[in-house]
Chain A
């Protein structure tokens, strides 16, 4: 899948050159927050992402996740939907709703095994930066997906 996304993005964005005004800071590793309550999955993701040079933090609970995510110190937030104490869609509203000022700097990628609900599809597409069904991708595929984001 990462392959086809790569292909498409190169087609649709022929002018994607690194923007000189926003230098890519490779000196410090990009920070990822993985909000995921299934320990085995977060371990797998953390392992693959750490191997790829990212700095990964794991939180396994919704409210705790929101607290950390709001700090704005992460480049990418991987957000599960079915979580204890607060579901991911609610969290997405709190992180990325129109009322949030200033807007959250981090990219939010939904990683879930729930299919998108039609009734909130539009809103989720507006607020999140990506959506992945976890069962459909392997940790390595997640890494190449993330590399397109940051």
Chain B
């Protein structure tokens, strides 16, 4: 294998350094001590010797570690390819890289084997018309790849299977005769997690490269209606070699492992699920009551009903906040920036908040300037930011009965949204920490509840959109929170998520083309 000779060379170089370094150190010390500091000979000898020994000990240790590295690699490879590997470890990119190296070397050997041994059996491999007649893989190759325990598949330039080992037949539960010579996609339905699947990748590399290797994790293939496999896959593309096989693929089965991961739900997600279930039920029954008893209730009871409804909605929004804060903490807040109409988002968000404002005796004054450009936004997240800011404004409004929300184009060419209340304001002493987690105005601690997750999360979301969030406030006169969003045509293509025919709402999505598709 390639990497062994690589490490052999490295090891030789390191042993040389390990020997030569103490010698040089010794000599230099000897020279320094005797010439520059004019120490006695004996003293000089002792210092130089101890320095040399120290360096020797260190280099010996380093050498041992380096010397065992190929063994470790080998062990990793054995563990990686072993069928019995278990445990719910997350996909390991280092291992995937290792698999890439492994498959690259392996493919080279198979190509070599295919092209060097004399042709014993020649037969048309494919029914393709525009291809020159090809030669099937030699039996020698077949014998070798059959000995490899993991599934190996080779394809020609039309993505027809030219070679496959016995492990493939076992893995996808089809005889080799039904696989070889046919299009790969007749035998397997691969489903990739990444945007770029095998076909897309091949189309790309065919245009740009002579050889290339790519690894995917968590690829799925349905073996039957009731069973599917999950695996990591590595493909090596190498054009113009004489075997007719252009792409070699190796499959590393991970069905058990990924199956276990899929069923694993994080503590926060589970807690949120458990909180949401009774909330769904409460909101459902409140709606039934309010619809069917509405007309018969006294104004006082009707007001109670609205307060109940508003509180349930507030709690629902808060539960989503928890989930998102957990995502921010784990760096997992993934936003899909799309071209969105800010007016739509704001109107939906404010109409969701109206009941809450009303039961607290407030009125939300929403003003949206005309002709605002579409913004690059993740709809659900921006909805949450507006929800948090307005919710705070309602909470801290005190006796004032108005909250102003305004969307406009600012002088920097960004869409700016301001949420202004006329309440208690924020003391200057806490302004600096306002966007930190669990922070809350000290004055209001007794008057208002809340944990201070909202602003922390809003900042994280706005920043992830490439915008800014800030506050101006005067004690006793109220506060104004502002944040900016970038017009969609100003962001780069990489940041933008393509159109996918899905209409996203504030609390879910629906397919655009799902109307009477059957």
Contact = CB atoms under 8 A, between A and B. Distances in A.
Contacts of B45: none
Contacts of A8: 344, 503, 505
Given A129-B514, A150-B516, A47 B276 contact: no
Nearest to B515: A16
A107 B284 contact: no
Contacts of A150: 516
B276 A135 contact: yes
B263 A87 contact: yes
B9 interface: no
Interface string B188-200: 0101010100000
A49 interface: no
B507 A132 contact: yes
Contacts, number: 153
Contact of B222 (A24, A38, A97, A131): A97
Contact of B516 (A2, A24, A136): A24
A1 B276 contact: no
A129 B276 contact: no
B283 interface: yes
Contacts of A64: none
B510 A119 contact: no
A22 B262 CA distance: 39
A71 interface: no
A135 B265 contact: no
Given A97-B189, A134-B276, A137-B507, A7 B344 contact: yes
Interface residues of A, number: 59
B226 interface: yes
Contacts of A87: 263
B277 A19 contact: no
A93 B288 contact: no
A87 B273 CA distance: 14
Interface residues of B, number: 57
Contacts of A19: 516
A3 interface: yes
A125 B280 CA distance: 23
A73 interface: no
B446 interface: no
A10 B288 CA distance: 29
B511 interface: yes
A5 to B, nearest CB: 5
Interface string A1-45: 111110111001100101100101000000000000010110011
B332 interface: yes
A38 B507 contact: no
Contacts of A125: 500, 502, 509
Contacts of A41: 277, 280-281, 284
Contacts of A149: 510, 514-515
Interface string B476-518: 0000000000000000000000001011011111111011111
Contacts of B263: 87
A131 B508 CA distance: 5
A80 B486 CA distance: 36
Contact of B514 (A105, A113, A130): A130
B511 A130 contact: yes
B232 interface: no
A52 interface: no
10 smallest A-B Cβ distances: which pairs? A136-B507, A135-B276, A113-B276, A44-B284, A132-B508, A99-B222, A130-B510, A4-B348, A129-B514, A134-B280
Given A120-B262, A130-B508, 7 more contacts: A4-B348, A38-B280, A41-B281, A44-B284, A118-B334, A149-B510, A149-B514
Interface of A: 1-5, 7-9, 12-13, 16, 18-19, 22, 24, 38, 40-41, 44-45, 47, 82, 87, 89, 93-94, 97-100, 105, 107, 109, 113-115, 118-120, 122-123, 125, 128-140, 145, 148-150
14 contacts: A4-B344, A4-B348, A9-B510, A12-B512, A38-B280, A97-B191, A99-B225, A120-B262, A128-B511, A131-B510, A133-B508, A140-B287, A145-B510, A149-B510
